[in-house]
Amino acid sequence: MAISVSSIIERAADLAKWAGRRSVAFPTAGRRPRSAFCLFLAAFCLPALAGCRRDMQDQPKIKPFRSSSFFKDGLGSRPPVEGTVARGWLREDKELYTGKRRSATPLSASTPSGPVVMTPPANASASQVASAYPDDVDKFPFAITPEILDRGQERFQIYCSVCHGMTGHGDGMIVRRGFRKPPSYHEQRLREAPVGHFFDVVTNGWGAMPSYASQVPVRDRWAIIAYIRALQLSQAGEQPATENTGVRK
């Protein structure tokens, strides 16, 4: 029921008169007419004022990607302030966050996907592999501890073993059911590949393998790669060359 302001004022005036008469006819110690009037006025006005609000669904706001006449460019969604970096995205350590050498040539607008990488043959030598991935780091960006290896084993079994198998031979469960078989980690080519190559594959995908960047954090990717190196050492028929294993003692 709508109540006009004038009717509220009139009712308040009637209450004031009534409160004044009551205070004169029935005087009591310590009770003041002004206090009684305030109490009556508050009790009457609070229910009426409760209806003076704006529902949240009706408030003025800008929805994402909607146009707006408030800004000069007509866009409701505002671009980030120039020169600012979102919290947690500064990523100054290039080797940690990209797996690339600090001296690696950054991608340009003309080559957004980077140079074309020719996959070396399965039995490629160390020099052939190194020439195929010249920008990838060959050392881990932090020391590998038993705890990191345990973490890598756990993450590997969750995300990688379904395709690559528990021992890295490419015989995972979905491969047995018809999915395309990935290469074995124990091929000479991958035993000689730098650790940065594995990081690049996990981050950006390779062939039929999609990117896992949204599922596996950066440090977990390195932990998985450390465990892959451990698998390669454990499954090798003979001790592989150690110059490119990337494992720090």
Q: How far apart are alpha carbons 155 and 220 in whole angstroms?
A: 7
Buried b (16+ CB within 10 A) or exposed e, 125-137: ebeebbebbebbb
pLDDT at 249 over 50: no
| Among the listed residues 173, 199, 190, 178, the one whose alpha carbon sits nearest the alpha carbon of residue 236 | 190
pLDDT tens, position by position, 85-138: 988 888 889 999 999 998 877 654 444 444 455 677 666 666 777 778 889 999
Please compute the mean of the pLDDT values over residues 133-154 and round it to a whole number. 95
pLDDT, residue 59, reads 75
**Which CATH code is given to the segment(s) 119-235?**
1.10.760.10
Task: Name the band, by pLDDT with cuts 50, 70 and 90, for residue 175.
Answer: very high
- pLDDT > 90 in the chain, percent: 43
pLDDT, residue 68, reads 86
Q: How far apart are alpha carbons 230 and 114 in whole angstroms?
A: 30
Please compute the mean of the pLDDT values over residues 229-248 and round it to a whole number. 65
pLDDT at 157 over 90: yes
**Sequence-separated (6 or more) residues with CB below 8 Å from residue 144:** 226, 247, 248
pLDDT, residue 36, reads 64
Phi–psi pair at 176, nearest 5 degrees? -65, -20
